[in-house]
Chain A
């Protein structure tokens, strides 16, 4: 390789930094959507790089379903402190209490879909005009069609059939009052890229990504964490297993992997050998063929 040809990961890093700087330059009130998952942690790291030696010029927003892993919340608070960023929390419980959202009932109840209400309310209340997210195009077929700068109408909706063409690296962030953009700086990264980057850059992660013992139960081919709010069928029984999270969402929809990987290197070996996609373990995507497409149109992450 010539010494002036960037490696693929350096090129993706440069692309993401470029996108983050475009956000800071084109919008008045951007926000970074922080889930506590690895992709948003990588986004925070990239944001530090984009604006060094200045602070990250936007706050972090976490939509808390109230059903998060405690390890995620601890990590979130500590990271926000260490990068000196303002942390805002939108609470799904608040949205339910105010009657803005209605709790799902039954065995597969999840607050995953309800997050959209809280997210859109937080965007409107804070007048955010750009929400930066860690979604990647390799994750899911609806996401494969996303732009870097994705326009949302005043109802926060995505219209996949009528997206603005995105040419070269010129991102058109012009909008009307009340509209906003979702911006995805790591659109072109794959799951393996994210892990390799975490390894190369020595980025800290919440402990739940690494192997640990936990009460779990098995449902429809997926291991789920036992928790007081997780309703179980009579046939399902709690087992104590060595597991880790491959993705981190709300407890109700995060599938756990039986694994003894306790370093990033181990995880990379595990992912290289795995034959199932990352979102294959997400209970929220199992609802229908177009589960993600439908949620995205409504204004989901």
Chain B
């Protein structure tokens, strides 16, 4: 058999997770369809199905947006209901797209998609320029700490591919963005998702733009600094005790490194007890390791017999996180039932489960104008607010801007078990 595909190259690829933000008619589905189609990630049976559907709906060309169609209810209504995940790969990277709908429950879905993303594509319709929705998207991207923002100015074909249209929208966006995230990595690309300009192939219609296609940016954005590599953080998920003859006294702490580098011999502090110990080994099925870093899943063993279980954390000695029962967090409310001031909720922080009471609401943010409304004590679905929580047991946390794992929390309604809020600790 002829070998044309290199497994070696495939195994060496990095993974980039990105999310897409755009209003209903900004061409988001078309853009994703274009990326998948031009990167040859669409299979024949999928293409046939979309061709059939396009003709059935009376279209003359392949409707690229149909590649991202999901559930029957969505096809019937021509909308997207929930976050859908798409996958494609080029010879350089593998990509996971969190495709979020542009209308109802928008904030909730974008927050979900953004929470694990390395990059966000913010789509702007060149005909409309920066609108209120664009402000919302940019703000959520900044709130969720997405390291890289790619602003795609779409439908340039409808504006005769004019440079001044692009420049003016870019200036408008930068003016707003400089207020909320001055140090953000931001890139701007003029595209036509429908015609394919600057998505995968460089545009021949916009010779004035030479800063690379969207795919080029996705393939080359440096992502190795996207994790917290400074602070040693290891939330314990599960204690491994084989209780077998071979590993009679073995006690391993299983978890995923949330920050920093861990090595055998490192002096660490075990939380919540505060006891000092030393890492004896970093164990995996394939053998012990000399180093572990984010986001590796490993098992640590310690020199001393300490009291440590799920919800505890192993951290670097001399580099302990904040400890408190009083937490200030920006939250995004995600449930139709409004937040209850002075209400009690279950709270999950890393692997730790506690209960909390909502003590105060500082303000609800109007994310279009960035206005802080302090009188507003009603928090409804899709609202962003700064609130004060008091927990039953102390949390060991970092600010969200330092570490997206040890700085995040969720609130759970104890009556319905639903996840009702995403919180970013200040």
Name A residues whose Cβ lies closer than 8 Å to a Cβ of B: 1-2, 4-15, 17-18, 21-22, 24-25, 48-55, 137-138, 141-142, 144-145, 160-161, 163-170, 172, 174-176, 187-188, 190, 192-193, 196, 199-200, 260-261, 265-266, 268-270, 272-277, 280, 289-290, 293
Q: How far is the CB of B397 from chain A (nearest CB, A)?
A: 13
A161–B73 CB distance below 8 A: yes
Q: How far is the CA of A52 from the CA of B286 in the complex (A)?
A: 10
- Whether A50 contacts B410 in the complex (CB less than 8 A), given A192-B89, A272-B4, A273-B4, comes out as no
Does B297 belong to the interface (CB within 8 Å)?
A: yes
Q: How far is the CB of A182 from chain B (nearest CB, A)?
A: 16
Q: How far is the CA of A79 from the CA of B247 in the complex (A)?
A: 23
B115–A168 CB distance below 8 A: yes
B256–A144 CB distance below 8 A: no
A269–B5 CB distance below 8 A: yes
Query: B274 to chain A: which residues have CB within 8 Å?
Result: none
Which of B7-15, B129-137, B171-179, B190-198 lies at the interface with chain A? B7-15
Query: A1 to chain B: which residues have CB within 8 Å?
Result: 12, 14, 224
A142–B71 CB distance below 8 A: yes
Of the candidates B1, B243, B404, B410, the one whose C-beta lies within 8 Å of that of A261 is B1
Task: Tell me the nearest residue of chain A to B13, going by C-beta.
Answer: A8
Q: How far is the CA of A174 from the CA of B293 in the complex (A)?
A: 30
Interface residues of B in 215-248 (CB under 8 A from A): 223-224, 229, 237-238, 240-244, 246-247
Of the candidates B94, B238, B296, B410, the one whose C-beta lies within 8 Å of that of A167 is B410
A161–B13 CB distance below 8 A: no
28 contacts between A and B (CB under 8 A): A7-B12, A8-B13, A14-B297, A15-B295, A54-B244, A54-B247, A137-B87, A138-B87, A144-B70, A144-B84, A144-B85, A160-B82, A161-B82, A167-B112, A170-B350, A172-B348, A172-B412, A260-B1, A261-B1, A265-B3, A269-B1, A272-B5, A274-B43, A275-B44, A276-B43, A277-B45, A280-B43, A289-B75
Task: Tell me the nearest residue of chain B to A166, going by C-beta.
Answer: B112
Q: How far is the CA of A269 from the CA of B250 in the complex (A)?
A: 43
Of the candidates A163, A167, A176, A196, the one whose C-beta lies within 8 Å of that of B7 is A196
A145–B82 CB distance below 8 A: yes
Q: How far is the CA of A268 from the CA of B6 in the complex (A)?
A: 9
Q: How far is the CB of A202 from chain B (nearest CB, A)?
A: 11
Interface residues of B in 263-303 (CB under 8 A from A): 283-286, 293, 295-297, 299
A164–B418 CB distance below 8 A: yes
Task: Tell me the nearest residue of chain A to B252, going by C-beta.
Answer: A53
Q: How far is the CA of A54 from the CA of B299 in the complex (A)?
A: 11
What are the 4 tightest A-B residue pairs by CB atom distance, in nearest-first order? A272-B5, A8-B15, A54-B242, A280-B45
- Whether A168 contacts B283 in the complex (CB less than 8 A), given A8-B15, A22-B237, comes out as no
Task: Tell me the nearest residue of chain B to A48, going by C-beta.
Answer: B285
Query: A200 to chain B: which residues have CB within 8 Å?
Result: 11
Task: Tell me the nearest residue of chain A to B420, going by C-beta.
Answer: A165
Kindly name the residue among A48, A53, A293 whose own CB sees the greatest number of chain B CB atoms within 10 A. A53
Query: B255 to chain A: which residues have CB within 8 Å?
Result: 21
Q: How far is the CA of A192 from the CA of B5 in the complex (A)?
A: 11
Name B residues whose Cβ lies closer than 8 Å to a Cβ of A: 1-5, 7, 10-15, 43-46, 69-73, 75, 81-87, 89, 93-94, 96, 108-109, 111-112, 115-116, 223-224, 229, 237-238, 240-244, 246-247, 250, 252, 254-256, 261, 283-286, 293, 295-297, 299, 310, 334, 346, 348, 350-351, 404-405, 408-410, 412, 417-419, 422
Of the candidates B5, B10, B348, the one whose C-beta lies within 8 Å of that of A170 is B348
Q: How far is the CB of A4 from chain B (nearest CB, A)?
A: 5
Q: How far is the CB of A3 from chain B (nearest CB, A)?
A: 9
Q: How far is the CB of A184 from chain B (nearest CB, A)?
A: 11
Query: B86 to chain A: which residues have CB within 8 Å?
Result: 138, 144
Number of A-B residue pairs, CB cutoff 8 Å, is: 205
- Whether A52 contacts B82 in the complex (CB less than 8 A), given A141-B70, A164-B419, A190-B87, comes out as no
Q: How far is the CB of B130 from chain A (nearest CB, A)?
A: 27
Query: A21 to chain B: which residues have CB within 8 Å?
Result: 237-238, 254-255, 297
A145–B84 CB distance below 8 A: yes
Q: How far is the CB of A139 from chain B (nearest CB, A)?
A: 10
Q: How far is the CB of B287 from chain A (nearest CB, A)?
A: 10
Task: Tell me the nearest residue of chain A to B72, going by C-beta.
Answer: A290
B256–A14 CB distance below 8 A: yes
Beyond A50-B297, A53-B283, A269-B1, 14 extra complex contacts between A and B, CB < 8 Å = A5-B223, A11-B15, A21-B254, A50-B254, A53-B242, A54-B241, A137-B87, A141-B69, A144-B85, A165-B109, A169-B405, A170-B409, A174-B417, A190-B89
Query: A144 to chain B: which residues have CB within 8 Å?
Result: 70, 84-86
B238–A2 CB distance below 8 A: no
Query: B419 to chain A: which residues have CB within 8 Å?
Result: 164-167, 172
B71–A141 CB distance below 8 A: yes
Q: How far is the CA of A272 from the CA of B3 in the complex (A)?
A: 10
- Whether A168 contacts B404 in the complex (CB less than 8 A), given A9-B11, A11-B15, A269-B3, comes out as yes
B14–A269 CB distance below 8 A: no
Kindly name the residue among B15, B108, B299 whose own CB sees the greatest number of chain A CB atoms within 10 A. B15
Of the candidates A14, A22, A25, A192, the one whose C-beta lies within 8 Å of that of B296 is A14
A165–B5 CB distance below 8 A: no
Task: Tell me the nearest residue of chain B to A193, going by C-beta.
Answer: B94
Query: B94 to chain A: which residues have CB within 8 Å?
Result: 8, 190, 193
Query: B93 to chain A: which residues have CB within 8 Å?
Result: 8
A142–B70 CB distance below 8 A: yes
Task: Tell me the nearest residue of chain B to A281, going by C-beta.
Answer: B45
Q: How far is the CB of A189 from chain B (nearest CB, A)?
A: 9
B72–A289 CB distance below 8 A: yes
B4–A165 CB distance below 8 A: no
